[in-house]
């Protein structure tokens, strides 16, 4: 894997309110996003994104377990 040494900016295929999303990765560990044709950047750290992804995964696993439990209880 290549280490990030300079800013990297890309237009994503994802859209928000009909506009493409622009993402910018910075070597300092900052991620910035904005809508195409808008000036306002929203920034966060890579650590915050990683934490959010972990919490979302844990919530998904929790929901699956709850559904399995409900199916077992309904079958009694």
Q: One digit per residue, pLDDT tens: the chain, 76 residues? A: 889 999 999 999 999 999 999 999 999 999 999 999 999 999 999 999 999 999 999 999 999 999 999 999 988 7
Q: How far apart are CA 36 and CA 30, in angstroms?
A: 19
Give the pLDDT score at 76.
74
Instruction: Enter the pTM of the model.
Output: 0.77
pLDDT for 5 equals 94
Based on C-alpha coordinates, what's the Rg of the chain? 19
Query: DSSP label at 72?
Result: H
Taking the C-alpha atoms of residue 20 and residue 8, their distance in angstroms, rounded to an integer, is 17
């Amino acid at each position: 894997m290549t280490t990030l040494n300079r800013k990297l900016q890309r237009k994503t295929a994802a859209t928000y309110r009909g506009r493409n999303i622009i993402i910018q990765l910075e070597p300092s560990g900052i991620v910035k996003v904005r809508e195409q044709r808008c000036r306002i950047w929203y920034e966060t750290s890579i650590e915050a994104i990683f934490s959010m992804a972990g919490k979302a995964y844990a919530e998904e696993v929790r929901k699956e377990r709850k559904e399995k439990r409900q199916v077992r209880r309904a079958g009694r």
